[in-house]
Structure 1
Amino acid sequence: MRLAYKERIATRLTLVTAMIILVVFAVIYLVANFTVIRNIDRELGLETDKHKDQIFLVNGEIRFLHKDEWQEMEHSQIQLNPIFIEIVDLQGKSMDRSPNLRENHLSFSPEKSSKKEAWTLKLGESEVRQMQIPLFTSSKHEGYLLLAKSFDDSRELLDNLRNVLLILYPVILLSLYLSMRYLAGKSIQPIQQIIRKTNQITQSNLNERVPEAEPNDEIGQLTRSINELLQRLEASLNREKQFTSDASHELRTPLSVLRGTLEVLIRKPRTSEEYVEKIKTSLSSIDRMSATIDQLLALAREEKGKNLVKEELELITFLEEIVDQTSLEQGRKITFQSQSGIPIYVKVNEKSLQMILSNLLQNAIKYSKSDTDILVKTGVENKIPYIEVCDIGPGISAAHLGKIFDPFFREKEVVDQLIPGTGLGLAIVKKLAMESEIKISVTSEKEKGSTFRLDLPLS
């Protein structure tokens, strides 16, 4: 069973914290252990320094500088922190020991005496910390002084510390897990609110938005991203609805004309001239529908087309060919001007650029007077290659400049003048330009004409 998100957060944070606390507790215990042993070893060192100047071995006999020092209470009875002393010869045979050792003997380790190293050992039922030093008489090595100190109190302190840390460890982890689970639940409450709100948004209320609680944190960024996505979806849906409505309208009109014409023809016999006239009207309607359908198919293909292959293209030569071919086909004068004295290389899809220019030139020819020239210019400005298609036509009003790339949009004046067209050419141009990473812009002034500019990616 998959854990809830807040429980996964709490578990991960608890695991990380558990490792950190484990390391901290281990360091605490090791530092305490090191400190206790170091203090005992220091006390043993002080004791050995004190006794080595008071005890001597002369010809196998023990001599004391102060006899009463050897007989003091701490060596003769067991007390809180007793000191155990034993004197041995070079072979480790005991020569004398403090009464508090009773029947026990200290450990003999001559290899540790030179380093003045202390170690822990069991002495009966007790645990002691022992140190061993050599005894010299007139620079002659006569034996060893073995000295130990009880380690029971220190061991009890260390064991208590270990037990407390072991008990605290699971208690702390459980408390941390519950606290983090609660805090994680509180932290994801804004996300749960976003989920509830987005689940309520459907196609019928796509205009609603998720409220922003904290606009400057990650939750606020997520909320803005969702709202921007909803806005794009709403705009896309509205465009689809408008596109469907416009397409239906564009196709319904010629169909209505075609149906009306055919109904008139079958009402009564007609003359051959009337049949010819009505058939021509029907063919005109069919041509209009065919043109609309072709444009719709072209637009659909461009919307689905991705990852166009881009190749290096020499722009001046390419434009000269396009201009000459269009001028010949349309029977209109089209002037080409190059503002660059050297070849211009761009990286585009040749077919896409050809279709863009074909649509722009056809529009320029369609909307400008027959006795005016169409101008195509190219050059490089601020290191960016550009193409401009200029016409001297009726122009576009400023209020409509932002709509001319919408499918089926045509100004009322154009429709009233019965200028043929479907309103899809510039929509196709816009789609192709976006796919080819070409920036398209337009400037226009009523009764003075329009200029469409393409800024192309440099090769």
Structure 2
Amino acid sequence: MNLPYKIRLSIYLTGASALLVLIAFLVIYGVANWTVIRNIDKDLELETKIHQNQITLVDGKIRFLHKDEWEEAEHKEVQFHPIFIEIVDKEGIQLDKSPNLGSFHLGFRKDHSSSEKGYNQFFINQEIRQMQIALKHDGKTEGYLLVATSFEEAKNLLYNLRIILYVLYPLILFSLFLTMRFLAGKSIQPVDKITKMAKLISQKNLDKRIPLPQNNDEIKELAVSINDLLERLEAAMKREQQFTSDASHELRTPLSVLKGNFEVLIRKPREQEEYIAKVRYGLEEIDKLNSIIDQLLALARVQKDAWDIHEIDLESIALEVTESIQKSEGRKINFTNRSEEPLYVQSYEKSVFIILTNLIQNALKYSKDDTEVSVAIWKENSTGILEVKDKGIGIEKEAQSKIFNPFFRENSPELGKVQGSGLGLSIVKKLCDHLGISISLESEKGQGTSIRLIFPDKTGF
């Protein structure tokens, strides 16, 4: 149904209200109908009790006492609530009657007797309400007393009530729809304002925010959520712009060096050794480019990989990574499990492989060949901890808060001798953020660096 939201909301609210109004009308009519019939039945019950005491047996036949009372005006007025009374035997044959019945007979129901509830039937082309009770003598039913009164006035009253309800119902529904439409339009005005403001925000003005309503309601929560989303988008955009700028700079530098070397080579003929030296230098720059591109691709995949968080054996992974790097680098790496038992954590194997590989390679890169790098794992309560420690050149305190930024490299003589792209630790940080792993860093210039990973508490899963 391609209708505006306020129209749909109006229809839904009107439909619900229509059902409630219909139920209310049915209850009103039901109560009115029950009240009218109940009042008539009470009148008939009263008349029945009065005339039941005026009946006797005469020569074995049921007769009224004081028959002259039927000459009273109340029994001759047919126009105003007439009461019809008739006595019949067990077979329904008339034995006596009130004068206003004339030559007519009331309807008889064989073996029916009730002094509390009457029934409707037609009499002389009109509807009447009638009550029938058994007349007993010595416990034996001798006949029946029939008492009736006109039901036309009550029927007309109920008919008029139905007509009024039939006419009112569509009018009420139409009025409800207009009211609901007006209220729905009013209620979504704050949403319309938020929508119009959101349409004005684009990539060029991500710093703009939606004004917050004064009331602390769902509309304000919506505005706060959209502003939070804009905050994240703005931060992501800035990171993307910074990443693109840094990446282009890092790639442009070795390309410029390669281009310069090749331009020098072709200016004039040179000795073979000089050609070989320049080509080797070019190959080194190409290797650097490949390393940067690999790291950039790894950093880009961090955002796209599917994460299957489950229980993994941290000791097994740490051993595998440590042994692999020892073989490829030819350096000694000391691994210990201080818990002296298998250590299981909630994480993702591939990501932990990348994290540990980057940390160990980084530790080896900034340590002397004769110094040892250590990897340790242990358990504190239900939390798994992994630590990579080296005795390398260390990090200045001013730079420690920046080393996880992409392409950041500390400006020091020692670092100038070590090749790197400044992406390894930023990849570690992004992966840890995705996995909920906390990172703590301790480093002292000239003494070494210790990076500790604190895995999420297993009880939280």
Report the TM-score, using the length of structure 1 for normalisation: 0.91
Checking the alignment, whether the CA contact within 8 Å between 2:392 and 2:449 is kept in structure 1 is yes
1:78-120 C-alpha deviation (Å, 9 max, x unpaired): 2422211122233322233222223432111132226664111
> What is the aligned residue count?
457
* Corresponding residue SS for 2:418: coil
Q: Distance in 2 between matches of 1:84 and 1:245?
A: 106
Q: Distance in 2 between matches of 1:149 and 1:414?
A: 119
Between 129-138 and 204-213, report the one with greater CA deviation.
129-138
The residue identity in structure 2 corresponding to 1:94 is Q
Checking the alignment, whether the CA contact within 8 Å between 2:42 and 2:116 is kept in structure 1 is no
Structure 1 gap segments, 5+ residues each: none
Q: Distance in 1 between matches of 2:432 and 2:29?
A: 71
CA shift for structure 1 position 11: 0.5
Say whether residues 1:335 and 2:353 are aligned partners.
no
Which residue matches 2:381? 382
Which residue matches 1:268? 268
Q: Distance in 2 between matches of 1:343 and 1:62?
A: 107
* Corresponding residue SS for 1:304: coil
* Corresponding residue SS for 1:303: coil
Checking the alignment, whether the CA contact within 8 Å between 1:320 and 1:336 is kept in structure 2 is yes
Q: Distance in 2 between matches of 1:165 and 1:57?
A: 51
Q: Distance in 1 between matches of 2:139 and 2:286?
A: 129
Cα distance 1:142–1:70, how it changes in 2: closer, same or farther (>3 A)? farther
Cα distance 1:398–1:102, how it changes in 2: closer, same or farther (>3 A)? farther
Which residue matches 1:444? 442
* Corresponding residue SS for 2:453: strand
1:17-49 C-alpha deviation (Å, 9 max, x unpaired): 111111111111111111111111111111111
Which residue matches 1:82? 82
The residue identity in structure 2 corresponding to 1:453 is R
CA shift for structure 1 position 319: 2.8
The residue identity in structure 2 corresponding to 1:444 is E
Structure 2 gap segments, 5+ residues each: none
Which residue matches 2:306? 306
Between 39-48 and 125-134, report the one with greater CA deviation.
125-134
Q: Which runs of structure 2 are paired with 1:24-423 in the superposition (5 Å)?
A: 24-59=24-59, 61=61, 63-113=63-113, 117-137=117-137, 141-214=141-214, 216-308=216-308, 312-313=312-313, 315-346=314-345, 348-397=347-396, 400-413=399-412, 417-423=416-422
1:285-317 C-alpha deviation (Å, 9 max, x unpaired): 22221221222223333433214585642x335
Cα distance 1:45–1:213, how it changes in 2: closer, same or farther (>3 A)? same
Checking the alignment, whether the CA contact within 8 Å between 1:408 and 1:423 is kept in structure 2 is yes
Cα distance 1:309–1:68, how it changes in 2: closer, same or farther (>3 A)? closer
* Corresponding residue SS for 1:107: coil
Checking the alignment, whether the CA contact within 8 Å between 1:56 and 1:137 is kept in structure 2 is no
Checking the alignment, whether the CA contact within 8 Å between 1:135 and 1:141 is kept in structure 2 is yes
What is the CA RMSD across the aligned residues, in angstroms? 2.6
Q: Distance in 2 between matches of 1:68 and 1:206?
A: 103
Checking the alignment, whether the CA contact within 8 Å between 1:440 and 1:452 is kept in structure 2 is no
Checking the alignment, whether the CA contact within 8 Å between 1:75 and 1:82 is kept in structure 2 is yes
Q: Distance in 1 between matches of 2:367 and 2:296?
A: 25
Q: Distance in 2 between matches of 1:68 and 1:397?
A: 128
* Corresponding residue SS for 2:376: strand
CA shift for structure 1 position 142: 3.4
Q: Distance in 2 between matches of 1:103 and 1:414?
A: 133
Q: Distance in 2 between matches of 1:115 and 1:45?
A: 6
Q: Distance in 2 between matches of 1:119 and 1:230?
A: 74
The residue identity in structure 1 corresponding to 2:355 is I
CA shift for structure 1 position 388: 0.5
1:210-260 C-alpha deviation (Å, 9 max, x unpaired): 221146311112212222222222222222211111111111111111111
Report the TM-score, using the length of structure 2 for normalisation: 0.90
Q: Distance in 1 between matches of 2:222 and 2:396?
A: 40
Between 288-297 and 113-122, report the one with greater CA deviation.
113-122
Cα distance 1:154–1:396, how it changes in 2: closer, same or farther (>3 A)? farther
The residue identity in structure 1 corresponding to 2:6 is K
Give the fraction of aligned pairs with identical amino acids, expressed as a percent: 50
Cα distance 1:156–1:398, how it changes in 2: closer, same or farther (>3 A)? farther
